[in-house]
Amino acid sequence: MISTLEVIKAGLLTTVQDIPGRNGLRKYGIPTSGALDTHHAELANWLVGNPMESPLLEITLGNAEFRFTKGTVVGVTGGIAKLYVGDRSVQTNRNIKVEPGQTLRIERVTKGARMYLSVAGDWKLKKELGSCSTYRTAELGGFNGRELRTGDRIEVDVSGVKFTEKVIPKKLMPHYSQHQMIRVMAGPEWKWLTEKQQEKILELRFGVSSTSNRMGLRLNSKMALNIQDSEFSSVPVVPGIVQLPPGGNPIVLMNDAQSVGGYPRILKVADADLWRLGQVWQGNEISFSLIDRRGALELFDYYRELRASYLT
């Protein structure tokens, strides 16, 4: 049985994403894409009993509304936002039963930046180059390679879907504050900076620029960080790399970022903290806290085990 998700209001930017996105194509310049906040995307799929790699919606800043033609089970998590099924106020972070023809409305996000909407069942979307993730620059994946708009319809096979109450454990829910401390390790060109410059970068509170997007989080330093001799040929980069262009405003590369880049790679955000950047927005500030590679690996394993222990 098919339940069609109809878009009544799409919000600022709503796209289909999955985890882990596209792999094996970086040599052609095709990025990974996929959900920015993998932590909540996984939790959303867990809420509705879908496999972790199932497609779902990433809704930037909320302010979106959907209707389902048939009864189904959905999960909404991510930032903090009010949620309604029809006129009834419901909670995020738990699975929700939706009756045929009912609407699901997510109000504007008040903390964090992105909401994830999962729908139980099998999404009838064609994978492109190995993934359902939307990559708009190349009109790839998702719904016709683009963001969702009013009137768009996505079919989900809801056969066999059953509702058993599920709630995301409190221990797995982040505390959102206006200022986020992000753990990083030294990047290949960190040693190009003087000790003074390094200290400054680790002390600064960077503002998040309004030009940030799924390719990169652009940071404002308010102070000149200019480093000399930064002209060098393009080198490999991965999501989480912090580039420092000559202007001195760092860019943290995100999931839709390039495979190679020409700016010094001063830092690399720890994989364990990368998802947190999916929840920052202009007006937020971030600081970097330096750890070593071993520390980053341990942190990643720690969170993975923590998640696993609560989600059994």
* Contact pick of 12, 80, 215, 290 for another protein (by CB under 8 A): 215
Count residues near another protein (CB under 8 A): 48
User: Taking the complex as a whole, how short is the minimal distance between the CB of residue 192 and another protein, in angstroms?
Assistant: 15
User: Taking the complex as a whole, how short is the minimal distance between the CB of residue 300 and another protein, in angstroms?
Assistant: 6
Q: CA Rg, the chain, in Å? A: 20
User: Taking the complex as a whole, how short is the minimal distance between the CB of residue 280 and another protein, in angstroms?
Assistant: 19
- What are the tokens at 103? 């609407």
Binding flag, residue 265, another protein (CB under 8 A): yes
* Contact pick of 144, 159, 194, 234 for another protein (by CB under 8 A): 234
Binding flag, residue 174, another protein (CB under 8 A): no
Which listed range, 2-10, 151-159, 171-179, 259-267, lies at the site for another protein (CB under 8 A)? 259-267
Closest C-alpha to 250, from 233, 226, 275: 226
Write the DSSP assignment of 257-284 as a string of letters: --SEESS-EEEEE-HHHHGGGGG--BTB
Binding mask 181-200 for another protein (x = CB under 8 A): ----x-xx------------
Q: What contacts 249, CB < 8 A, 6 or more positions away? A: 209, 218, 219, 220, 221, 225
Closest C-alpha to 184, from 208, 207, 201, 167: 201
Binding flag, residue 28, another protein (CB under 8 A): yes
251 neighbors 280 (Cβ within 8 angstroms): no
> Looking at beta carbons only, is 23 or 150 nearer to another protein?
23
Binding flag, residue 29, another protein (CB under 8 A): yes
> Looking at beta carbons only, is 220 or 279 nearer to another protein?
220
Q: Which helix (H) or strand (E) holds 306?
A: helix 293-310
**Side-chain half-sphere CA neighbours of 144 within 13 A:** 7
Reduced to 3 states, what is the DSSP secondary structure of residue 26?
helix
Under the rule (CB under 8 A), what is the footprint of another protein?
23-30, 128-129, 137-140, 185, 187-188, 211, 215, 231-238, 240-241, 245-247, 249, 258-263, 265, 268, 270-271, 293, 296-297, 300-301
